[in-house]
Amino acid sequence: MKPDAHSNGSEQQLFKQLFDQYYEAIRNFLFYKSGDLTLSEDLTQEAFLILWKKRSNINPDKAKSYLYTIANNLFLNEIKHQKVVFKFQQQPVSNTFKETPQFQMEEEEFKDRLMNAINDLPEKNRVVFLMNRIEKLTYKEIADRLDLSVKAVEKRMHKALIELRKLSYKI
């Protein structure tokens, strides 16, 4: 805030005076508009924060009207934000297809066949496959955990995928 002949102290003291003088009035103004005390307090504090950041450009005699303008703009921005949130929440989640009972039954059958196929894999290949696809481990991490070479892990994974592809052609 620009020091002038009317101010008898530092910027901090002047800011504290303005805060003490207008905080409750600004908060009440926002509360009457919003009906939400917590929101009103948050926006009031934000208004004073903006005032502090722009203090070098503001005449202390105009600080009150500036605070009300800031507070009102913050409130309007909050309302716009809430409208966007509300609009987004009201939109139904659109699927590209509707899951019919037939689809759900076929999906369950496929999952069962896939789990059976994974269970039918040789243990060494199954372990590597699950570590890679379920635990998302790299071949190097799998090799380290199983005390194998990366090449051995690649070979086991290759065999597992071949067996699972055979299943997919049967489906």
Same domain for 16 and 78, yes or no, is yes
DSSP assignment letter at 1:
-
152: domain range? 117-164
Average pLDDT, the chain: 85
Residue ending a domain, among 73, 90, 107, is 90
**pLDDT for position 20:** 93
CA angle 103, 108, 112 (to 5 degrees): 145
Asked whether the beta carbons of 70 and 51 are under 8 A apart, the reply is yes
- Residue 34 to residue 74: CA distance in whole angstroms: 11
- pLDDT tier for residue 157 given thresholds of 50, 70 and 90: very high
Has residue 94 got a pLDDT over 60?
Answer: no
Query: Comparing C-alpha atoms, which of 122, 121, 141 is closest to residue 131?
Result: 141
We report the CATH number of the domain holding residue 85 as: 1.10.1740.10
Is the dihedral angle over the CA atoms 34, 40, 46, 49 positive or is it negative? Answer: positive
Q: How confident is the model at residue 2 (pLDDT cuts 50, 70, 90)?
A: low
pLDDT of 5? 43
Q: What is the pTM of this model?
A: 0.49
Total domains in the chain come to 2
**Angle between helix 123-133 and 150-170 (nearest 10):** 90
